[in-house]
Amino acid sequence: MTVLASPGPAGTGSRFARAGALLRAREVGIGVVLLVVFGVTTAHNHNFADANSVQQLLSGAALIAMLGVGETLVIVTRNVDLSVGSVVGLSAYVIGDLFSHHPGMPVILGFAVGIGIGAVIGAINGFITAALRVPSLVVTLAMLYIVRGVDGRVVNGVIIVPSNIPSAFVAIGFRTFLGIPWLAIIAFLIVVVVAYAMRSFRSGRDLYAIGSNPEAAALAGVLSARRVFTAFVFSGALAGLAGALFLALHAEVDVTAGTGYELLVVAAVVVGGVAIFGGSGTVVGAALGALLLNTINQALVASRVSSFWNEAIAGALLLGAIAFDRWLSLRVARGLRSAEGAHRDL
């Protein structure tokens, strides 16, 4: 892309272009793996390419992709948000509970409540992390427990069942538009908008600056604390929205809803090429990572591989992705170093 070549200092354009091409290859690479997995599985089991099966695949991946977008914003700033799974659970349950007590409640209000809950929790995470300068890993781990505990308190043994929820709301979970599930469309729109903002808005570039080099970002006048706070609010709000969609998709919620999603999301994001120590990675990659993990899971089911193998293969894949990332970054670094000469510090 020519955009890459323009801003660099004189004579460095081709270097950045080359490194950029390598980096972009990451998204392309995931796409290729995705197609291979899809193709091989379909060859084994033709039902895998059925409209129904693909729709199911997209709906499942949409939730994780959405969470992955929020998680990417946070991880890019060298932080992490482990509370998303609990937020999904709480948001899904509270909305379901509201619907069962007020069956006439407008659907849009359900979404607003979910996003609101998530944003508030995200704001707490962001405030403690950014203003009090407490490591986000610990803060959001604590929030994971607290929110799950509040959820338990709210749920108190009562389970939301499909008959509690207005059909207009459940419809969002299974309706399709031109054959594409609404869930996937919503996730796609979020990915596109956020990807654009991360690429072209000052606030988006600030997040990368903070993650690349916090001191340099501060000296350059980046309002780091404010940006990190916003990233957490965003991640929380998206988790709240994902909670609403979880309810629409499953129509059944108990206290365990969303348990363990935090690690699933981090895994998807890392597979998608977002560096866990911040500063690089795209939301498109994160979304593709989520889609790839979900496709592999479904592919194992469709290939009649014993479902007991799913988790082990997912783990091995994650390790492979991390190692591949390392290899790639070493190659890029070597390329940069040899192109630039000796003045760059090691």
Partner 1 sequence: MTSEPVWRRALRWETGLVVVLIAVLVFGSVRSSDFLNTTTLFYVGLNMGEIAIMALPLMLIVITGEIDLSVASMLGLSGAVLGQLTADGWPVGLAMVAALVTGALGGALNGMLVARLGLPSIAVTIGTLTLFRGLAEIVLGARTITAFPASLTKIGVVPLPGTHLAYSAVIFIAAAVVFGVVLHATRAGRSIVAAGLAPEAAQFAGIRVRRLKFGLFVLSGVLCALAGILFTLKNASVSYNAGTGLELNVVAIVLFGGVSIFGGRGTVIGVVLSVIIFGTLQQVLTQMQIQPEVQNIITGVLLLISVILPNGGEAVRRIRARLRTGSGPVRAPAPPARSVTPSDSALTRQENTQ
**Which residues, numbered 9-68, are part of the site for partner 1 (CB under 8 A)?**
16, 19-20, 23
Per-residue x/- track, 324-343, partner 1 (CB under 8 A)? --x--xx-xx--xx------
223 lies in the binding site for partner 1 (CB under 8 A): yes
Q: How far apart are CA 283 and CA 199, in angstroms?
A: 10
Q: How far apart are CA 160 and CA 157, in angstroms?
A: 10
Per-residue x/- track, 285-324, partner 1 (CB under 8 A)? ---------------------x-xxxxxxxxx-xx--xx-
231 lies in the binding site for partner 1 (CB under 8 A): no
**CA distances, 17 to each of 1, 310, 332 (Å):** 7, 38, 11
Closest CA to 37 of 316, 302, 268, 323: 302
From the list 29, 31, 116, 214, which residue makes contact with partner 1 (rule: CB under 8 A)?
214
Output DSSP code: residue 308: G
Q: CB of 210 within 8 A of CB of 217? A: yes
Query: 158 phi and psi, to 5 degrees?
Result: -90, 130
Q: How far is the CB of 269 from partner 1 (least distance, A)?
A: 10
Q: How big is the site for partner 1, counted in residues (CB under 8 A)? A: 92
Q: How far is the CB of 46 from partner 1 (least distance, A)?
A: 28
Residues 129-158 that bind partner 1 (CB under 8 A): 129-139, 141-153, 155-156
Q: Alpha-carbon Rg of the chain, whole angstroms?
A: 21
Residues 181-210 that bind partner 1 (CB under 8 A): 199, 205, 208-210
b/e burial code for range 284-313 (CB count within 10 A of at least 16 → b): bbbbbbbbbbbbbbbbbbbeeeeeeebeee
From the list 225, 250, 252, 303, which residue makes contact with partner 1 (rule: CB under 8 A)?
225
- Tell me which residue has tokens 């300068």: 133
Residues 88-117 that bind partner 1 (CB under 8 A): none
Per-residue x/- track, 156-175, partner 1 (CB under 8 A)? x-------------------
What is the distance between the terminal CA atoms of the chain, rounded to a whole angstrom?
28
Q: How far apart are CA 99 and CA 251, in angstroms?
A: 11
Q: How far is the CB of 17 from partner 1 (least distance, A)?
A: 10
Of 66-74, 95-103, 172-180, 220-228: span binding partner 1 (CB under 8 A): 220-228
From the list 41, 53, 79, 91, which residue makes contact with partner 1 (rule: CB under 8 A)?
79
267 lies in the binding site for partner 1 (CB under 8 A): yes
By beta-carbon proximity to partner 1, the closer residue of 121 and 170 is 121
b/e burial code for range 64-81 (CB count within 10 A of at least 16 → b): bbbbbbbbbbbbbbbbbb
Report the sign of the C-alpha dihedral through residues 196, 200, 203, 206, in that order: positive
72 lies in the binding site for partner 1 (CB under 8 A): no
Q: CB of 151 within 8 A of CB of 94? A: no
Q: How far is the CB of 280 from partner 1 (least distance, A)?
A: 4
